[in-house]
């Protein structure tokens, strides 16, 4: 799948728009947290996550990516900015506000899944059309629908410039026909969601039914299936990719890592099946440590894909 280089130099191959979260991760739990009980964790970590994980994965994969992110004066914004600087993430597109922009999640991570208690304070914004025209990326990926009222129009403009527009669902609890989601998808080149989101959005009983339903709105649909790999519907063809067996430490950030691997594959001009394989490899690597700390570098990703037997 070849993405246009637009015939001119640009500061970024990818512009990523999406909020950070600061994740407090409790793992090694004996039981699921519940009212009236103390549940102790064997392990704990505090790391920036959500789109931070995707931005860091792009950096490790040597992808020129700019991250459009709201930050503020609060402690968690400052901790995230310090970590981004340490991890060589480009922070030049950060929107630094004079108020708090708290994005905080407490995650309880079990071997099979995880849950969150989250807090979101302060507005979120998207890059303007003028910014997208100035930056001229090959890919615009938006992770979440916080700014959904402006998103269809922004995607329509970006696509008119030959920019590939990708949207990650990020836990929207609605039907695909509600609000303006269907209109957004009609201006989206690729929609990515996990299996739970896909079946909930479409009312389908299976991921294949969800693929077909969502494909009625946009040309490429990708469903993340965790330990079962991934599935996509592209150019009328359904593609299924398995996943390697790994020792799961923490699944927080696996989907964000998946997204970076997928976009990396598209930027290489790889066919859809190979791009999906790169996505699954990144997502699988991320779950072997807390908060995506095991994300692969480009050489490690290429080696793991060359040696893969799954």
Mean pLDDT (the chain) is 92
228: Cα separation from own chain's centroid:
18
Q: What domains does the chain contain, in order, with CATH numbers?
A: 14-21+50-71+127-299 (3.40.1190.20)
pLDDT at 197: 92
- For 271-289, what is the mean pLDDT? 95
**For residue 290, what are its two tokens?**
């807390």
User: pLDDT tens digits for 158-204?
Assistant: 999 999 999 998 777 788 888 899 999 999 999 999 999 999 999 99
Q: What is the C-alpha to C-alpha distance for residues 195 and 65, in angstroms, rounded to an integer? A: 27
Strongest mean pLDDT among 102-106, 111-115, 143-147: 102-106
Q: Residue 112, CB half-sphere, CA atoms under 13 Å: how many? A: 3
Please state whether beta strands 20-29 and 103-109 pair in parallel, antiparallel, or not at all (unpaired): parallel
User: Quick one: pLDDT at residue 2?
Assistant: 57
Helices 272-286 and 298-307: angle between axes, nearest 10 degrees? 110
The whole-number pLDDT of residue 114 equals: 75
State the pLDDT at residue 116.
Answer: 85
Minimum mean pLDDT range among 92-96, 117-121, 276-280: 117-121
Check pLDDT > 90 for residue 148: no
More confident residue, 45 or 139: 139
Does pTM top 0.85 for this prediction? yes
Distance (Å, whole) CA 96 – CA 78? 10
Give the separation between CA 147 and CA 172, rounded to whole angstroms: 13
């Amino acid at each position: 799948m070849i993405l246009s280089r637009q015939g001119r130099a640009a500061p970024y191959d990818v512009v990523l728009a999406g909020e950070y979260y600061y994740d407090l991760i409790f793992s090694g739990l004996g039981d699921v947290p519940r009212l009236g009980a103390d549940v102790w964790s064997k392990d704990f970590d505090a790391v920036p996550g959500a789109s931070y994980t995707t931005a860091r994965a792009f950096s490790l994969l040597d992808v020129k990516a700019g991250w459009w992110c709201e930050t503020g004066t609060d402690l968690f914004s400052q901790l995230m900015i310090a970590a981004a600087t340490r991890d060589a993430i480009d922070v030049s597109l950060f929107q630094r506000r004079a108020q708090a922009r708290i994005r905080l999640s407490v995650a309880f991570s079990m071997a099979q899944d995880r849950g969150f208690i989250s807090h979101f304070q302060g507005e979120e914004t998207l890059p303007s059309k003028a910014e997208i025209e100035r930056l001229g990326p090959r890919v615009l990926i938006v992770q979440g629908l916080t700014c959904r009222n402006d998103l269809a129009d922004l995607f329509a403009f970006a696509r008119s410039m030959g920019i590939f527009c990708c949207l990650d669902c990020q836990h929207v609890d609605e039907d695909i026909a509600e609000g303006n989601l269907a209109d957004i998808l009609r201006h989206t080149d690729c929609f990515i969601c996990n299996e739970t989101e896909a079946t909930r959005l479409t009312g389908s009983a299976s991921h294949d039914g969800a693929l077909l339903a969502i494909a009625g709105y946009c040309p490429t649909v990708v469903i993340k299936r965790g330990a079962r790999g991934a599935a996509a519907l592209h150019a009328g063809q359904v593609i299924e990719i398995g996943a390697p067996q790994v020792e799961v430490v923490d699944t927080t950030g696996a989907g964000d890592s998946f997204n970076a691997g997928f976009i990396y594959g598209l930027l290489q001009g790889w066919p859809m099946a190979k791009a999906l394989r790169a996505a699954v490899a990144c997502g699988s690597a991320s779950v072997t440590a807390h908060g995506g700390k095991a994300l692969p570098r480009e050489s490690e990703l290429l080696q793991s894909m060359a040696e893969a037997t799954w």
